[in-house]
Structure 1
Amino acid sequence: MDAVGAGGGPEGDCPGTDGTPTLVIIGANPTVARAAETLPGTLIHVQRPGAPELDPGTRVLTVDFEDLPAFLAFTDEVLRPLRPTAVVSLTEFGLEPAALAARRLGVAGVDPAVVRTTRDKLEMRRVLEREAPHLNPAFAAGDDAAAVSRLFAAHGRVVAKPVDGVGSTAIALVDDLDALPADRRTAATLLEQFAEGREFSVEALSSEGRHTVIGIAEKGTTDGFVEVSHMMPPPSLDQGRQELVGRAVGELLDALGVTDGPSHTEVKVDGDKIIVIETHTRLGGDGIADLVRLTTGVDWRHAALGWAIDAGIRQAPATAAAAATVFLTASPGRVTAVAPRPVLARGDVHTWDLHVRPGAAVQPLRSSADRLGMAVLTAADTDSCAAAVAELTALPVVVTAPEPHL
């Protein structure tokens, strides 16, 4: 697998009927939409009713793209006459609609079968079992009682997760078969051997089957698997192991049939052993695109949208040697105090976004949606970045008083 800067596709426009491309983007948030404004050609956004408004002057069409029959009718009746060059999405629930629309219109986009495989965690495991078993943990479908029993007998600690889950929702570590609830013994649950080691996420861009690593971030998670930090470059991976991770991700993408477009892959690394946790045909969330821009100069959102119209990789000088996103959390209860933006000893607070105030209710941290805000930190090196993350994490930014019903 290549490193960033080694390629990324040819520069220039993909011509439409008037010599410029027309790109349809499904479900963009305002940040993605602003990044899209730097692309060549015509942009058309497709948004669900009630979605956050985009900047004035943005061309927006409205349809519930999660209602696939209605969306495919919309594709035929509304999008087809516009003669788009490509249809893409960077939001999880827009990935399959965008792929289906691109296939239906015969334009550039991700293969719908690939999207389905990456979004179905059990199917992804089955593909890897055939094509790259060394990247898989042991696993079982929740409704296969015999396989579930063998999994617990052989490995003890098992992770239970929804087959189609997102946002670290409803993931649990189960230590004993008897502790596995009945509602996890269904086809909707994937059970996996707990993988040891540190966790990393890998951003990559593929072009005609060639995979370029854009960046690798080291993840911090709670015991409940909710992500609370990302650091780039990864402090715990030397250059040799970064190359091992890149090769493993390339094997994964080849096995799944990913040939073009962005991907976000989560892996566990234990020595030289690499286990794939999951992958997505989009860039990573949680501000990872900002870490890529700060530490490599690559506008990752621009590249993750523009690949379909041959817009290339736009890269400026890096502005930070190391950067991190840190998610602010607090104990369940009622907020009694909120600290101001801090000054850190080993790093700088680049961005501060805290959206709770005194009196607000804080729920238990069960998924990404329960986090209270995010900071982006920059530092002079990876050691300083790790120290800044630890310093901010230890600060009582949000103070709560317990309430029995929360």
Structure 2
Amino acid sequence: MRLYLLAINPTDSVTEGFLPAAARLGLDVTVLTDQPERHRGRYAAGVEVLECDVRDFRAVITRMSSHHTPDAVFTNSDHLQTQAALAAEYFGLPGKSWQAALRVKDKAQMRRHLAASGTGTVWSMEIGPGEVPAAADVPYPCVVKPREGVASEDVVLVHAPEDLLLHCKEIQARRPGAALVVEEYLRGDLHTLETLGDGAVRHVLGGFRTELSAPPHFIEKRSTFVPAHPEPVVAQILTQLDALGIGFGICHTEFVVHEGRARIIEVNYRAIGDQCDLMLAELLGIPLFERVLRTHLGQALPAELDVRRDGVARIDWPCADRAGTLTAAPAATDLIVDGVRLVYRPLRAVGERHELYHTNRDYLGVVRAVGTDPAAVDRVVAGFLADQHWEITP
């Protein structure tokens, strides 16, 4: 059976998660990408890499129809969900609703749709490319962000009209042609909900509690696994996901809770990233990546998933605090300490120079820890981080 996987840049989710899962399922894999040289030589033998303008669903359909007949179409990219959904529909294959994929990728459209459904109203305003916002009409504090952005890139907390105008101008200079969204600042602790469905059955896999950097930016610094959020909170989020048409495959939803009210920040119609998905699969003790691919092959999910419920997990991202060249950093590490399995992986090579981005592009590495004792997990991670040294030379 032939799986087409759409990708832009290589990611750990694909390299360490979905492609090994496809191999275990015995699938023949063709990766379609607009950056083939970044993918070739990175994967196990037998994974075919073909160049394609994957942002254009017509090019994707043409490339598939002139190559091997597809049995499944899949992507874990934020940017390619609509294209993959349209290609799957064209070939009569299981897949996500392209309308739902588009609806959640476009943050302004998501806000409009939730408001129209009556499931979630957030004050928001869309700003077209080059337009100037009516800053006096905005409730402050507010958040400005690209309408179709990812990874907290160019997401900024704003407190006054003059700051809003300044930040909009700066973002538009960096992203000519991009539309922006200004919306009210949603107070509350940041959480995630991870779900997996086949269109008929949906499982809640748990979620994370996420700690952010200090304002005005929103860099995720640490996430702690939450086996089950309070039922009223989960019910509110699932109602909003239903209104958006989200129910097929894996989905990562970010939300805040304030005074019992759960409000969606954004919906990423893919697996949670930055190695949280790798940790989640280990923590739950299920073949998570295979389960995801099976839904795209048309295989129903079981009514119950036999997941572990005794696991504790935490993930930390050491982060650059200045621009410069990384001149010293720890190597990849695997440890078992006091019953805690700790994995550290570098995300930036020694010798690389980077600017300061105020996003997850500032990550220097990732520390994953899984165990059964929360105090032990925290102690082992804290001890590991205290012993490491990262040096950035301006």
**What TM-score, normalized to structure 2?**
0.82
Let me know the Cα RMSD of the aligned residues: 3.1
Cα drift, residue 204 of structure 1: 0.4
Q: Distance in 2 between matches of 1:92 and 1:124?
A: 15
- Choose from 242, 245, 251 the match for 2:233: 245
- Choose from 25, 30, 40 the match for 2:5: 25
Within-5 A mapping of 1:360-379: 360-379=352-371
Tell me what 2:22 maps to: 36
| Aligned AA (2:187) | E
Q: Which has the higher contact order (CA 8 A, sep 6+)?
A: 1
Indicate if the aligned counterparts of 1:233 and 1:295 stay in contact, CA closer than 8 A: no
SS at match of 2:37: coil
Cα drift, residue 373 of structure 1: 1.1
Indicate if the aligned counterparts of 1:160 and 1:173 stay in contact, CA closer than 8 A: yes
Tell me what 1:119 maps to: 105
| Aligned AA (1:65) | V
Tell me what 2:60 maps to: 71
| Aligned AA (2:266) | E
Change (3 A) 1:233 1:146: closer
Within-5 A mapping of 1:216-295: 216-223=207-214, 224-233=217-226, 241-295=229-283
**Between Structure 1 and Structure 2, how many residues are aligned?**
370
Q: Distance in 1 between matches of 2:189 and 2:386?
A: 20
Q: Which runs of 5+ in 2 are unaligned?
A: 173-177
Indicate if the aligned counterparts of 2:135 and 2:165 stay in contact, CA closer than 8 A: no
Indicate if the aligned counterparts of 1:261 and 1:308 stay in contact, CA closer than 8 A: yes
Cα drift, residue 129 of structure 1: 0.6
SS at match of 1:108: coil
Indicate if the aligned counterparts of 2:320 and 2:362 stay in contact, CA closer than 8 A: no
Greater shift in the superposed pair: 122-131 or 103-112: 103-112
Indicate if the aligned counterparts of 1:336 and 1:359 stay in contact, CA closer than 8 A: yes
Indicate if the aligned counterparts of 1:168 and 1:226 stay in contact, CA closer than 8 A: yes
Q: Distance in 1 between matches of 2:374 and 2:180?
A: 37
Change (3 A) 1:372 1:124: same
- Choose from 130, 133, 149 the match for 2:116: 130
Cα drift, residue 110 of structure 1: 1.1
Change (3 A) 1:25 1:356: closer
Indicate if the aligned counterparts of 1:132 and 1:252 stay in contact, CA closer than 8 A: no
SS at match of 2:67: helix
- Choose from 144, 147, 151 the match for 1:160: 144
Q: Distance in 2 between matches of 1:171 and 1:68?
A: 28
**What TM-score, normalized to structure 1?**
0.80
Change (3 A) 1:130 1:315: closer
Indicate if the aligned counterparts of 2:210 and 2:220 stay in contact, CA closer than 8 A: yes
Cα drift, residue 306 of structure 1: 1.6
Cα drift, residue 344 of structure 1: 10
| Aligned AA (1:139) | S
Indicate if the aligned counterparts of 1:99 and 1:111 stay in contact, CA closer than 8 A: yes
1:49-77 CA deviation, whole Å, 9 max, x = no partner? 22323210224443231244432322333
Indicate if the aligned counterparts of 1:292 and 1:299 stay in contact, CA closer than 8 A: no
Q: Identity rate of aligned residues, in percent?
A: 22
Tell me what 1:298 maps to: 286
Indicate if the aligned counterparts of 2:127 and 2:133 stay in contact, CA closer than 8 A: no
